Amino acid sequence: MRMIESGLEQQLQQLEPIVALTNDGQVTLLKNVGNAEDFIITCLVAENLGHRLGKAHKQTMSVDDLIAAGGLAQRIARQTIYNSTSSLSKSRIIQKKGNEFFVDERTVMQFFATKLPELINRG
């Protein structure tokens, strides 16, 4: 169990240039990551890791949570979030639970393999 937790901590540290978890477990974007879909997936991956490590209260994020996560780093209109979450959900990239969204382990793994290097190198 410790080895898995250590791996999750390392993944969370890899996200640090882009997104952080506040002391109260809220996801906060630290830089603009591009389009709305990348923004949503990045936030949900951070929430997933934070929840699995016991640093976030839940695994899911609502539209309001996502808007708040963008803060000053990236402002995205509510309608854009609605449209993008709908599209990502239909594509099974993200999952929907009630009015909230989350990513599964498959999406987390794909994010670290393909998307994170691209976001970090974007500068």
Query: One digit per residue, pLDDT tens: the chain, 123 residues?
Result: 455 667 888 888 899 889 999 999 999 999 999 899 999 999 999 999 999 999 999 999 999 999 999 988 889 999 999 999 999 999 999 999 999 999 999 999 999 999 999 988 875
Q: Which residues contact 94 (CB under 8 A, 6 or more apart)?
A: 40, 41, 44, 85, 88, 101, 102, 103, 107
Helix (H) or strand (E) holding 68: helix 63-70
- CATH top class, domain 2-117: mainly alpha
Residue 19 has a pLDDT of: 94
Residue 4 has a pLDDT of: 62
The identity of residue 113, as a single letter, is A
Q: What is the spatial distance between Cα 90 and Cα 86, in angstroms, rounded to a whole number?
A: 6
Q: What is the spatial distance between Cα 58 and Cα 72, in angstroms, rounded to a whole number?
A: 23
Q: What is the spatial distance between Cα 92 and Cα 122, in angstroms, rounded to a whole number?
A: 26
Residue 73 has a pLDDT of: 84
For residue 119, report the phi and psi dihedrals to the nearest 5 degrees: -70, -40
Residue 121 has a pLDDT of: 83
Among residues 17, 6, 36, 37, the alpha carbon closest in space to that of 28 is found at: 17
Alpha carbons within 13 angstroms on the beta-carbon side of residue 81 total 22
Three-state DSSP class for 77?
coil
Q: What is the pTM of this model?
A: 0.92
Q: What is the spatial distance between Cα 12 and Cα 7, in angstroms, rounded to a whole number?
A: 9
111 with 46: CB under 8 angstroms? no
